[in-house]
Amino acid sequence: MVLSTAGWRCLRSTTIRQLPRSLVPTTPTAAVAFTTSAATLDKSSKPNVKGGQGRNVQTGQQRVGGRGGPPTTESKSRAAYKEGERKQIRQRIVLSNTNAPPVNLGELTVEVSIHEPTVGSVFALAPHDVDKLRELQAFRRTQDWKFFYRPSTVMRKESLVLGEMLKEIQEGEKGACERVILSGPKGSGKSVLLLQAMSWALQREWVVINISNAHDLVIGHTEYEHDATSGTWAQREYTRSLLSRILSANHAVLARMKLSKDHTLNRIDFPAATDLAQFCQRGSRDATISHEVFTTLLEELCHAGRPPVLFAVDSLNFMMQNSDYHDQDYNIIHAHDLAIPRHFCDFLNGTRAFPRGLVIGATSLAGAPRTDAFEYALRGWKLPAYSKLDTRIAPSIAGAEVMEIGAMAEEEAKSLLEYCRVSGLLKEGRPLSDEQVAQRVAVSSGLAKELVAGCVRMLA
């Protein structure tokens, strides 16, 4: 039955509820798309907050007390992190795994470093060296120490080259100060080779200075000020912590050396009778003189009759670019205008030299930039004509020997994989065959880190 418009006007006085359901007029509604989401309430349909409080107040109470009320005893008992505690947890390096089976290995001694038949074997770091290397921050978080019972490393052909170089410098057979840059792809083992060199230098009672990551010097996270004397920008707080690490790792050697003359640094007198350990200790406690103490320490180590020095820097790439710092006119400060990078580059290019020493810089591809100017300099190429590349990079590494670190040799890779097997990372009951080793080397491109990572992935 269909009613006309006039008919509907006649029925206005009649209650609609009394009409049949089919006669109740309906208004067209917009089509609603199908969804599985819960229906949302508009402002008119939202329930009122208890007590007349606003929504923001209720949310704030939930964040503080957990259920909209005042903080409970349980929430008060959960103490917040102390200052610097989260950074320590984030940067903590685990060097051993007590759940891994112990492996009987020889120690990475000085004798191993110059013995050619040891190439391709795995050696454990001596316990007394581990503590000093930890103080020098020679271990990296990206390395796989946490999977093994104790920190160990493979003796490679490049390790033998560095070991023989240290021996010749120690005995005075080689030049006054050798300069080396370790370059290669990510995961090839450059940082581990740097660690091996530091271990042998400590055993020979050298003075070891290590900048574990040049990234920390250029990212604009440390205090800095202009030093009018040297024309560089001093990073006093970082230098203070660097002196503390140098003192902890080389205390016995520094305590046997005295200052060559009287020094006055920022109106503080240091007589010639002061040993270098006390000198560094004063700089490690007072940031206002740390820059002057470190500069004087390098000068003292350059005098004749001093012990050999190993000056090492990891992630050298970060020193070969502009920094994130700005001067008073907001001009970008080049990394070579910072005091510590300037010192290292002066020793790396031979402008300054220790009587006996080794200066090593290791490149990095883990988040570090590889600028075109640095690539040209590593290969000894001249910059293209009319190019806008940085002209300060090539002179900063001039004369340094570039040692390319690539894939592991077959015997080195086999020793590393066998060590992973006996440490529980490979579920193989018998020694690996040459075919199995070749397969793993092919998949990982022979890179040390990828070989271990492949074992860990199969374990998972």
Query: pLDDT tens-digit profile of 285-296?
Result: 999 999 999 999
Verify that 325 and 452 share a domain, yes or no: no
The better pLDDT of the pair 51, 205 is held by 205
Verify that 330 and 433 share a domain, yes or no: no
Verify that 235 and 193 share a domain, yes or no: yes
Task: Say whether pLDDT at 31 is over 50.
Answer: no
- Which pTM does this prediction carry? 0.80
154 phi and psi, to 5 degrees?
-90, 135
Task: Look at the chain and report how many structural domains it folds into.
Answer: 2
Verify that 229 and 295 share a domain, yes or no: yes
Task: Say whether pLDDT at 353 is over 90.
Answer: yes
For residue 102, the one-letter residue type is P
Per-residue pLDDT band for 368 (boundaries 50, 70, 90) equals low
- Which domain range does residue 443 map to? 410-459
Task: Say whether pLDDT at 55 is over 60.
Answer: no
Verify that 117 and 217 share a domain, yes or no: yes
Mean pLDDT of 28-49: 46
d(CA 267, CA 254): 23
Verify that 294 and 418 share a domain, yes or no: no
CATH, residue 393: 3.40.50.300
Verify that 427 and 371 share a domain, yes or no: no
417 domain-assigned = yes
Verify that 386 and 419 share a domain, yes or no: no
124 domain-assigned = yes
d(CA 434, CA 63): 60
Contact 11, 24 (CB under 8 A): no
DSSP string, 153-193: EE--HHHHHHHHHHHHHHTT-S-SEEEEEEE-STTSSHHHH
Verify that 141 and 196 share a domain, yes or no: yes
59 domain-assigned = no
What pLDDT score does 64 carry?
44
Q: Which of 144, 145, 153, 164 is nearest to 193 (CA)?
A: 153
Share of the chain above pLDDT 90, in %: 61
84 domain-assigned = no
Task: Say whether pLDDT at 15 is over 80.
Answer: no
d(CA 263, CA 261): 6
48 domain-assigned = no
Please identify, among 361, 376, 404, the residue that sits at the C-terminal boundary of a domain. 404
Contacts of 82 (CB under 8 A, 6+ apart): none
62 domain-assigned = no
pLDDT (tens digit, 9 = 90+) per residue, 207-241? 999 999 999 999 998 999 999 999 999 999 999 99
322 domain-assigned = yes
DSSP-assigned letter for residue 214 = T
Q: What are the distances in angstroms from CA 386 to CA 79, 228, 381, 391?
A: 60, 34, 15, 11
Distance from first CA to last CA of the chain, Å, rounded? 74
125 domain-assigned = yes
Verify that 150 and 218 share a domain, yes or no: yes
270 phi and psi, to 5 degrees?
-125, 105
Verify that 331 and 434 share a domain, yes or no: no
pLDDT (tens digit, 9 = 90+) per residue, 136-187? 999 988 888 888 999 999 999 999 999 999 999 998 866 689 999 999 988 8
Task: Say whether pLDDT at 43 is over 50.
Answer: no
Q: What is the three-class DSSP state of 275?
A: strand
Residue in the structure block whose two tokens are 């490049």? 158
Tokens at residue 12, please?
């206005």
Task: Say whether pLDDT at 459 is over 90.
Answer: no
What pLDDT score does 87 carry?
78
Verify that 346 and 315 share a domain, yes or no: yes
pLDDT (tens digit, 9 = 90+) per residue, 267-280? 899 999 999 999 99
pLDDT (tens digit, 9 = 90+) per residue, 81-137? 888 788 778 778 888 888 889 999 999 999 999 999 999 999 999 988 999 999 999
